[in-house]
């Protein structure tokens, strides 16, 4: 056999091998209408039953603990504050609310200036005018608050910040 023929046969074999390797990569010969029915879910795990040991009271602990007197329903009574009705509706069917009367001024300008100071400290303040001994007074209030305890807390903050002696009153619109 001549060298040329050997080279042609070897070349044909190399090209055939390359064709077998590269052609399936370039072209998908699978049926495009075929549906993949294999599951992608993992296999079901094997779970073994575990015995749970029930806790037992140690021998030195009494049956009725010392805290049981605190939580004894028959002996306990509800805490009541009969001083004032804190929640609910008043006679005009409005919620009970509380305001803090911070100060009273004879001049409206001074009252508005004080309100601006309160608002800078993030308090919700407003003015109401009242006639006292035939003179108009401008009262500065903060609130209203639904909870009297929150009004008391704000009163202490205002008293400390502005050196006042504010009073907590029931809100009447």
pLDDT digits (tens, 9 = 90+) for 102-119: 888 888 888 888 888 888
The closest alpha carbon to 162, from 145, 146, 144, 142, belongs to 142
Domains and their CATH numbers in the chain: 98-170 (3.30.70.1070)
Token duo for residue 131: 């006639």
- Between 56 and 78, the more confident residue is 56
What is the pTM (predicted TM-score) of this model? 0.49
- Report pLDDT for 158: 87
- Report pLDDT for 28: 72
Token duo for residue 153: 């807390």
Element (H, E) at 170: strand 167-170
- CA pair distance 170, 143, nearest whole angstrom: 10
DSSP 154: H
Token duo for residue 17: 């091998």
Which pLDDT band holds residue 98 (cuts at 50, 70, 90)?
A: confident
């Amino acid at each position: 056999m001549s060298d040329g023929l050997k080279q042609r046969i070897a070349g044909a074999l190399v090209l055939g091998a390359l064709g077998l390797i590269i052609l399936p990569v370039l072209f998908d010969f699978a049926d495009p209408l075929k549906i993949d029915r294999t599951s992608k879910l993992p296999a079901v795990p094997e779970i073994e039953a575990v015995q749970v040991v029930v806790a037992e009271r140690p021998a030195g602990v009494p049956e009725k603990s010392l805290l049981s007197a605190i939580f004894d329903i028959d002996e306990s009574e509800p805490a009541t504050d009969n001083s004032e009705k804190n929640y609910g509706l008043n006679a005009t069917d409005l919620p009970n609310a509380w305001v803090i009367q911070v100060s009273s001024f004879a001049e409206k300008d001074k009252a508005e200036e004080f309100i601006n100071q309160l608002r800078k400290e993030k308090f919700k303040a407003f003015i109401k005018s009242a006639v006292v001994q035939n003179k108009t007074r401008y009262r500065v209030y903060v609130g209203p608050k639904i909870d009297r305890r929150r009004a008391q807390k704000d009163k202490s903050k205002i008293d400390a910040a502005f050196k006042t002696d504010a009073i907590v009153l029931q809100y009447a619109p």
